Structure 1
Amino acid sequence: MELRVLRYFLAVAETGSVTAASRRVHIAQPSLSRQLSALEKDLGVPLFTRRPGALTLNAAGRRFLPIAEDLLRRAEQAAETMAAAGRGAEAAFTVVAAPATVACLLAPFMASGGAAGPTLHDTIQAEPSKVFDILMHSDADLGVSTTPPPLPLESAFLGLVPVLAQVPADHPWGGRCEVTLAELVTEPLILMTRSNAARTVVDEAVSRAGLTPAGVTETGSSAFAQALAARGRGVCLVTDDSRFGLTELIVRTPDGPLTVPLYAGWDAVHYARTALHELVDGLRDHCTRRTETLIGP
């Protein structure tokens, strides 16, 4: 099964006709028809319902479509990896993660990682609940989320990310390094929306302790939450490193510091699986160092 024939199949599936597909892939129409028929013969099933002037995918064709797309995607990734190797460059990967994870882990990792070892090429930002679904249906190489990845993905626990209470330096807590949950709820709180993992652990901890916040302001942006805190609107609770001169405080609960777990997931048969393992190890080490700096080993 040749890759070019898979490209012809995708062109016909997308355009709905051999004539239009032949123009797209720059091949004579009779030749494309012959190779499409040869593909169906090799697979042992017809892939299209044929009508005058139109072809539409049948049930077998619809099942084969994501397989063909995946094979071509892997071939392109392999070509890019080997081209990079030929230039002496390390593997570079695309990671799917929530915006907060990009801010507190991936971006700082990229900034501090130097030139050695596997690195990040780009990020795709998504809600935590959608990270691994997007991973399995995109060109991304790795997913990082606050919930474990589903099978058949390979997985690893990266560590715990502290949820930080952040206040202006002139706040009464400005000279402290931690605050209790009971103290926290006496202040107006600036929280992320409920799809954010930090918001989830805050809500759960407050509920378990039987406490009620004095007031809550919600926002979908951690940077804007920090901006509101800098303006004195309340105490923001985020996983990001501080901005705008804010002071960071660990939040102590009866169960220990308030943290969010992070997990990585990837295709167990990824073409660059060894390099992905190296990247995951690097992310785990970075996460561990950051957490130990903030709350100790």
Structure 2
Amino acid sequence: MDLRDLRHFLAVAEEGHIGRAAARLHLSQPPLTRHIQALEEKIGVPLFVRTPKGMQLTDAGHTLLQETPNLLALAQQALERTRLAGQGLIGQLDVGLFGSGVLDVIPRILARFHEERPEVKIVLHNLTKDAQLQALRERRISVGFNRLVPQEADISIETVLHEPLVVALAASHPLAVRPSLRLSDLEGMPLILYPNVPLRGLA
């Protein structure tokens, strides 16, 4: 039984007459009659009693009539929600985050997104850079935020923030008097970094 069956049944039940129902549906009578007969065969019980005055509902027909408006409304709601989900207006947004990337610009971006699309549930996942790339490929997350992501042929990358790179030195360190440093200036020096932060791509 499909939505067309339900619409045809509802028209005949409400009109009580095949001719009037056919006119309402912009159909001729013979096809509508065949549709109703086919519906009864699908269900396995008669829905109407044919009389000279028109179509009268059986007990089974009355039961289906009570349910049909709800079924049609649910189907319409499902179609509408499917359309909205396809447009990204409802559903769930899975976001990959790592390290201190959650501390500054990312909350503002997500807050703005929530304001514009309040029906979308945002789910955060703490993932390393490599795990984010894998999750994107497997469609387990929709977007990931990280630093220094290498260009990937199958991943679209957008820059949302440019951050200065700074180094903390003791005031007595010979390099502390310089206004700026190159990475090569730090070559051979011990460095304290966040865990799992690669140097590749910092230059």
TM-score, structure 1 normalization: 0.31
TM-score, structure 2 normalization: 0.44
Q: Whose strand fraction is larger, Structure 1's or Structure 2's?
A: 1
Larger Rg: 2
The higher relative CO (CA closer than 8 Å, separation ≥ 6) is in 1
